[in-house]
């Protein structure tokens, strides 16, 4: 990266300085408000710990969920403050607001090595505003928390593809640095984009084709194989004239899928069998069927065992693997075998020398919830959308601004 990094900031000195850090604490919560996957919190620790040890007065900014610009206790960062306190082995205070009186009082009262977490930045509608002046006003108020010698560290890779106040506009107003996490993510993804060892295989899952059309097209040009599973595979199958019954289908994307298959058909690898279910339910009656034999009124919720073996064969011959999106409804045990089998295939390839990247989001959550060994992958990204856009070749505003 051509930008300054955390090491540069530490060498300049952070003792006594207020340092604003944009982290990514958008972690999943259960109905009781408990964190079910702390992966993003754990990934943020090295940057925070380095600043604490350097004597900085650390102010963390992050979001959780989609509160739509309104204060909503359901999306409070209170569980994150608790988890951070435990992980850092020191008290992390949570401000009662974002840039209000409580945030200012707490920021002014910080001692060297203290950590303050601001409340959810998306409680303020200006954070995600399309109006540059509105975002700028909010960014000014965030910067005002840092006193005269403040600095900004960008360490929330999951949000660098968004031009938002705490990601983009704050960086224009303070000396800015890439945190350890952001720097590592960019370095890893650059290696995949610029010089992938071949064969290079991309695995894409998830629900909607529309979300990943551009990605599929961009990566099909660069990769040797594109494996497609998850909800999006049914639109591809439908484009081949297969009746997918009640499976997830985007009819308006059938023509696009048809064109992709016509152009890149030799590279795209689709399922050959499926796990069909009577309904969308963890306990639903289910059976393995051929792709064109889903019972009438049923739906597919996972790829089948023969498909897993087909995918594994491609993976076993690959030297670079990028995976984004589960193969089925992995949250339901009966429909988790496709995702598990695929992940095990990637782990096996990695042990044989392949370089593998798990592209954040549901894929990373699946690795952890299925109890798979995280060390079996070369890198697990914290940003699903950001990693996909980077691989697609798009500029990420939150990264671009650090280079200025």
Domain ranges across the chain = 6-183, 196-392
Smallest CA-to-CA distance from 115 within 63, 49, 27 is with 49
State the pTM of this model.
0.90
| Homologous superfamily assigned to 6-183 | Phosphoglycerate kinase, N-terminal domain (3.40.50.1260)
360 is in an annotated binding site: yes
**Dist CA 253 CA 240 (whole Å):** 12
pLDDT at site 206: 84
Query: Please, are residues 363 and 326 in contact by the beta-carbon 8 Å criterion?
Result: yes
pLDDT at site 383: 87
Max CA separation in the chain (angstroms)? 68
Backbone angles phi, psi at 195, to 5 degrees: -140, 60
57 is in an annotated binding site: no
| Other Cβ atoms within 10 Å of 199 Cβ, number | 16
Question: Residues with catalytic annotation?
Answer: 40, 208, 361, 385
> The tokens 């031009």 sit on which residue?
163
Smallest CA-to-CA distance from 45 within 87, 90, 105 is with 87
**Dist CA 239 CA 237 (whole Å):** 5
Task: Report, as ranges of residue numbers, the positions in the chain whose pLDDT lies below 50.
Answer: 1
Contacts 24+ apart (CB under 8 A), 254-259: 256/209, 256/213, 257/209
pLDDT at site 1: 45
Smallest CA-to-CA distance from 181 within 160, 200, 164 is with 160
24 is in an annotated binding site: yes
25 is in an annotated binding site: yes
Query: Taking the CA atoms of the chain, what radius of gyration do you get in angstroms?
Result: 22
pLDDT at site 210: 80
Smallest CA-to-CA distance from 365 within 14, 97, 28, 96 is with 28
**Dist CA 55 CA 52 (whole Å):** 5
135 is in an annotated binding site: no
pLDDT at site 288: 98
338 is in an annotated binding site: no
Smallest CA-to-CA distance from 249 within 268, 277, 230 is with 230
pLDDT at site 317: 97
| Other Cβ atoms within 10 Å of 297 Cβ, number | 9
184 is in an annotated binding site: no
User: Looking at the domain 196-392, which fold is it?
Assistant: Rossmann fold (3.40.50)
Asked if 6-183 and 196-392 have one fold, the answer is yes
65 is in an annotated binding site: yes
> The tokens 């598990």 sit on which residue?
340
């Amino acid at each position: 990266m051509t930008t300054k990094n955390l090491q540069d900031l530490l060498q300049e000195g952070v003792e006594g300085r207020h340092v604003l850090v944009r982290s990514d604490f958008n972690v999943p919560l259960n109905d009781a408000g408990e964190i079910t996957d702390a992966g993003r919190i754990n990934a943020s620790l090295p940057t925070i710990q380095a600043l604490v040890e350097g004597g900085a007065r650390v102010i963390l900014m992050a979001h959780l969920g989609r509160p739509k610009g309104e204060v909503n206790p359901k999306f409070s960062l209170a569980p994150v403050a608790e988890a951070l306190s435990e992980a850092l082995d020191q008290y992390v205070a949570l401000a009662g607001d974002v840039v209000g009186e409580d945030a200012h009082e707490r920021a002014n009262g910080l001692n060297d090595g203290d950590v303050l977490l601001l409340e959810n930045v998306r409680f303020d509608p200006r954070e995600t505003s399309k109006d540059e002046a509105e975002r700028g006003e909010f960014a000014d108020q965030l910067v005002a928390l840092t006193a005269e010698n403040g600095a900004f560290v960008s360490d929330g890779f999951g949000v660098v593809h968004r031009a938002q106040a705490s990601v983009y506009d704050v960086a224009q107003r303070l000396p800015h640095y890439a945190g350890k996490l952001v720097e590592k993510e960019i370095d890893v993804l650059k290696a995949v984009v610029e010089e992938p060892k071949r064969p290079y295989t991309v695995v894409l899952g998830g629900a909607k084709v529309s979300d990943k059309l551009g990605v599929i097209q961009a990566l099909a040009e660069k990769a040797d194989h594109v494996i497609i599973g998850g909800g999006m595979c049914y639109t591809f199958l439908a484009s081949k004239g297969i009746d997918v019954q009640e499976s997830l289908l985007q009819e308006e994307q059938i023509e696009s899928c048809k064109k992709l298959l016509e152009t890149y058909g030799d590279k795209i690898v689709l399922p050959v069998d499926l796990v069909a279910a009577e309904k969308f339910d963890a306990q639903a009656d289910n059976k393995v069927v051929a792709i064109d034999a889903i019972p009438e009124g049923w739906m597919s919720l996972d790829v089948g065992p023969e498909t897993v073996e087909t995918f594994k064969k491609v993976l076993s011959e690959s030297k670079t693997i990028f995976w984004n999106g589960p193969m089925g409804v992995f949250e339901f045990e009966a429909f988790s075998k496709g995702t598990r089998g695929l992940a095990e295939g990637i782990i096996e390839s990695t042990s044989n020398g392949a370089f593998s990247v798990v592209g954040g989001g549901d894929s990373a959550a699946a690795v952890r919830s299925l109890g798979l060994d995280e060390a079996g992958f070369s890198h697990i990204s914290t940003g699903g959308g950001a990693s996909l856009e980077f691989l697609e070749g798009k500029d990420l505003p939150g990264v671009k601004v650090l280079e200025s």
